Amino acid sequence: MKDRAIYNGYGSCPLTVERGKIILAEFGYGGKLLPSLPTWLIDGTRPSRLAWYMKEKILPPIYFLAMLKGREWMAKPDKEIVEETPK
């Protein structure tokens, strides 16, 4: 048996609903909600100023200085166990 990484369809869209407020929508295949932050902090179904601040000030440095260089510590792939067939 060995592990194989699988992609769950995660996507994130900052939806601007008014000046200074966005909805940080995080979802997977079939529209299933996949929040990466606790909902008491940022609820992906309601507009918030904290989500706007995060999109405006916090996420750009993480994206440009880490993720584009291949450093991703927040997201780990789901795993599935694959049965190896004898050769």
> What secondary structure, in 3-state letters, does 24-35 show?
EEEECHHHCECC
Q: Give the pLDDT score at 75.
A: 60
Q: Give the pLDDT score at 76.
A: 62
Number of structural domains (the chain) is 1
For the segment 5-25, what is each residue's pLDDT rounded down to a tens digit? 777 888 888 999 999 999 999
Residue 45 lies in a domain: yes
Determine the structural domain holding residue 53 and report its residue range. 2-77
Q: Give the pLDDT score at 84.
A: 67
Residue 74, φ and ψ in degrees, nearest 5: -90, -30
The tokens describing 42, both together, are: 């940022």
Q: Residue 74's pLDDT band (boundaries 50, 70, 90)?
A: low
DSSP β-bridge partners for residue 82: 2
Judged on CB neighbours under 10 Å (0-12, 13-18, 19+), 35 is middle
Residue 27 lies in a domain: yes
Residue 82 lies in a domain: no
Residue 48 lies in a domain: yes
Residue 23 lies in a domain: yes
Residue 83 lies in a domain: no
Average of per-residue pLDDT values in the chain: 82
Residue 52 lies in a domain: yes
